[in-house]
Structure 1
Amino acid sequence: MSSVVKVIEVIAQSKKSWEDAAANAVKEVAKSVDNIKSVYIKDMSAKVNGDKITVYRVVAKISFVVKKKK
C-alpha cells in the first residue's frame, strides 16, 4: 500500500529562539493535522529592537501522511 505525503508551509515565531519557533510551528499544525512526519526549516529571520533580538521567526515546511477514506 502506498502513501501520499502532503507538505504545507507555515510561519511561526517565538520570543525565546529559532528552535522554539520551529517547535511552535509543529505544535500549532498538530492541532488540526494528524500524522506529521517531518519539519524542514526553509528560512529563519528575526525582529530586532535596538541591539537585541526580540522575536525569532521561521518558515517551516511540515509534511504529513494523508489518510485514505475508509
Structure 2
Amino acid sequence: MMVEKRGLGRGLSALLGEVEETPVDAGAAGGLRDIPIELIHRNEKQPRWVFSEEEIEELAASIREKGVLQPI
C-alpha cells in the first residue's frame, strides 16, 4: 500500500508563527553595496572555466523569474 505524500499545506507561519518583516539597512555591516565591476575578479579555485551561452541565458531567465537565491 502506497502512502500519499502531502505538503504542509498551511505555510511556514503555521510552523514558525507570524514573523515581523524588518526593513534591511543597506549600509549595515554585511548589507548590500554597489561596487564597480572592475573590482570583481575570478576565483582561481572556481572549477568552471567555460560557460556556454545557453547556460548563461538559462541563468538570466531564472534570475528574472525568481531573483538571486544565493549571493554571488
Q: TM-score, normalised by structure 1?
A: 0.24
Instruction: Please say which structure displays the higher CA radius of gyration.
Output: 2
Relative contact order (C-alpha < 8 Å, sep 6+): which is higher? Answer: 1
- TM norm structure 2: 0.23
Q: Which has the higher helix share?
A: 2
Structure 1 or 2: more strand by fraction: 1
